Amino acid sequence: MLTGKNIILTGAGRGIGRVVAERCAKEGAMLALLARTESELEGTLKRIKDLSPDSFYLVCDVSGQSWVKKVFREIKTRWDHIDVLINNAGVQWPIGPFHANKLRAWKANVETNLFGMAHCTHHVLKDMIHKGKGKIINLSGGGSTSARGNFSAYAVSKTAIVRFTETLAEELRKFNIDVNAIAPGAINTKMLDEVIEAEELAGKELADALKRKVHGGNDPGLAADLICFLASERSNGITGKLISAPWDLWRNEEFCEKLRTDRDLGTLRRIDDKHFTRKT
């Protein structure tokens, strides 16, 4: 699906990012892998090198605006165009009631999850607009569609990503640039371990995390498959949506056509019986 595509992937060192990198490489893409930890990037690159020998990595903390600018300048010296940006980098801390959170940690979460995504997106748009096409895929998460107590920074930043996705999609529709967000599901990554380590600060989510640690979570391959689909030409015209990897019927062409034509499907909306009502 992705032969000849140049893809930038943030948060590529581990977890979902590593699985996405492998899947995109298998589909023929060339990747620029970004993350903060060089040893983890080396591990990801080693796993995809045989599939995508021209892929490379660059160490980058996406929360740093000047750092992102420098890295994207380097990418543009290697590539003459960028087809896809996958904003996967994210952090979960601080965990616990908002009044007990340190505001510095709370702001740091938003700087990585929201501003990091904005930094990277800003640096690809001029080229995509000039080319008249492109794909931007943002990773949403728990708390973006319903309240998530004790995870306020994460929930707020991920909700903002979804609304940013919708808004940017409207601005870029005329340039044939599709912007979507995905909900990967409850996947067992380092974030699950953080919930367990937080103990009572995680509230009711601690019990769920302990069960998931034993029985397993959603398959990260589902998220990788959805991302590959959204990065490919097969998803053209689907834009401004939040799509769940494990729950939505995105493999079904009829559902995909609804995503293309129904402006309200797959979006954040208030249900108030005035404009939007509950189905009975």
In a domain, residue 210? The reply is no
In a domain, residue 231? The reply is yes
Task: State residue 209's pLDDT score.
Answer: 63
Give the DSSP letter string of 164-177. Answer: HHHHHHHHHGGGTE
Query: Dihedral of CA 229/231/233/236: which sign?
Result: positive
Task: State residue 21's pLDDT score.
Answer: 97
Which of 51, 220, 25 lies closest to 7, judged by CA?
25
Give the Cα separation of 259 and 22 in Å (integer): 27
Lowest mean pLDDT among 164-168, 228-232, 247-251: 247-251
Catalytic residue check, 154: yes
Catalytic residue chosen out of the listed positions 57, 106, 115, 154: 154
- As a whole number of Å, the CA-based R_g of the chain is 18
Which of 243, 195, 250, 241 lies closest to 217, judged by CA?
195
Phi, psi angle pair for 41, to nearest 5°: -65, -40
- Band of pLDDT at residue 203, cut at 50, 70 and 90: low
Task: State residue 211's pLDDT score.
Answer: 67
In a domain, residue 27? The reply is yes
In a domain, residue 94? The reply is yes
Give the Cα separation of 3 and 15 in Å (integer): 24
* Contact (Cβ atoms closer than 8 angstroms) between residue 150 and residue 96: yes
- Band of pLDDT at residue 202, cut at 50, 70 and 90: low
Give the Cα separation of 263 and 4 in Å (integer): 31
In a domain, residue 205? The reply is no
Q: Which domain holds residue 159?
A: 6-186+219-261
| Residue 259, both tokens | 């995503």
Task: State residue 149's pLDDT score.
Answer: 78
Mean pLDDT of the 247-270 span: 92
Provide CB contacts within 8 A for 6, sequence distance 6+: 29, 30, 32, 79, 81, 82, 83, 84
Q: Evaluate if residue 121 carries a pLDDT over 70.
A: yes
Start-to-end Cα distance in the chain: 39
In a domain, residue 271? The reply is no
Give the Cα separation of 265 and 267 in Å (integer): 6
In a domain, residue 51? The reply is yes
Q: In total, how many domains does the chain have? A: 1
Average pLDDT, the chain: 89
Cut 0.95: pTM above it: no
CATH number, domain with residue 53: 3.40.50.720
Give the Cα separation of 23 and 268 in Å (integer): 29
In a domain, residue 199? The reply is no
Give the DSSP letter string of 250-276. Answer: TTSHHHHHHHHH-TTTTS-----SSSS
